[in-house]
Every structure is written in C-alpha cells, then in structure tokens.
Amino acid sequence: MRTLITASGTLFHIAARELGDATQWIRIAQLNDISDPQLRGVVSLTLPDRDPNAGGGIATQ
C-alpha cells in the first residue's frame, strides 16, 4: 500500500492510472471509507497494491 495526495478528480481516474483498471475504484473507496467516487478539494488516499485479479466496480453489501 502507498499514499497518494490529489486535488479533486474521481476514484475512477485514480484507479485507472494507479491500479490499471478503473473498475477497481471500489477498492480505493473501501480502504479510505469513502462512498462518493467524486473527490473534492485536496485528499490524501491510501492505495491498495495492484492486483490484476481483483474484482472491481461492485460493492459487496
């Protein structure tokens, strides 16, 4: 895991750039206790390690 500081944007774009798969945005959201993929202001995020086999996009209830 590592930390990323970003000024606005979306978790979709961050997941695509950092994890190689935009559908893995939910992994970032869950790790950071975020429910809205649209980011506002300066945000510090903990990013999971890249895992091409990780499922993405569907939150488990």
The answer to whether position 32 is within a domain reads yes
Query: Which residues span the domain enclosing 27?
Result: 2-47
pTM of the entire structure? Answer: 0.83
Considering its fold, how many domains does the chain have in total? 1
If one compares 21 and 60, the residue with the highest pLDDT of the two is: 21
> Is residue 52 included in any domain, yes or no?
no
Residue 32 sits at the vertex; the CA angle it makes with 21 and 15, to the nearest 5 degrees, is: 15
Would 37 be classed as within a structural domain?
Answer: yes
What's the pLDDT tens digit per position in 11-51? 999 999 999 999 999 999 999 999 999 999 999 999 999 98
> Does residue 6 belong to any structural domain of this protein?
yes
